Structure 1
Amino acid sequence: MELQIEVTLRDGTKYRTRKYKSELSAKRGIFKWLEQHQHLPDISASYFSPELRQHQSFDHPEQLQMAQPQANVDFYQSSAWRKLRLQVLQTREHRCAICNRTQAEHNIAVEVDHIKPRSKYPELALALDNLQILCLDCNRGKADDEY
């Protein structure tokens, strides 16, 4: 069964829940929500941490600075991503994993793509086995919920 983190968001006396696929994505979601609602007088967000095996509660975005979402541009400019991308391009055939066209035979542009999207699986952003080669057309047509 896939891990799900259920977060409870409280605004005064109103409660709502959101589900996340990882603890890091839950923390990022909480950070965003707290930041958007910090002008309100009585807010909090909480969840049970399977990793720590205890309840986590937050009432200000500063408590989650380490989980602050980074802009996509920063990630793709990072040396870690550039090195990993180069490794994939140097060690794998330049063949699209979806349409099977090759750079050499079909004169297409290829890109390194995350199989499980970074938006939903940030912990896999630099995982070599989560990367594939796609042609530009297939990569642009692929939605984040497809993999």
Structure 2
Amino acid sequence: MITYQDKIVQNITKQFDGMSKIEVYDILQKIESLLLDFNTPIQFKEIKNALETSSRKNNVTAVDEYGYCYLDDCCQYLNIYKIKSLFPTFLGGESLYFTIPGQYELIHYDNRNIEEAFSNMHLEPIVSHFLKYNPVKKRNPKTKRLLLLELFDQIDP
């Protein structure tokens, strides 16, 4: 018979399906350090508010008077940003931009720009092979993470 705690562990670990172990360890460490600031019993609303507040402080930057950008995801080789405008986008799709280490200008996230950014780098053959078979905006259906970032996470720096 499975205990109550084991059921909770199953429900939580179900969220890790498809992730690498290092990502899971990073998340668990973040959860552990986050819980230090809260009293028992744990209130999800308090944790959610704290995460949203800290995320806004650390990751949101004004682009101009008509919008802002925020860090959507990152790995050791690439930072992905989303642009949110105060005006609705009629064309649809995501407004994704990226930077690579040592570069601070946002570049539109598309196949051509990614290929140019990684040309003359040790990752060039890997990126070229990836883009030959996948569009750059393709996501993992389980984790909803960009496949290129998942690929980069598997490469040692």
Shared fold (TM-score, shorter chain, > 0.5): no
Richer in strand (by share): 1
Normalised to the residue count of structure 2, the TM-score between the two structures is: 0.27
Give the structure, 1 or 2, with the largest relative contact order (CA under 8 Å, sep 6 or more).
1
Normalised to the residue count of structure 1, the TM-score between the two structures is: 0.29
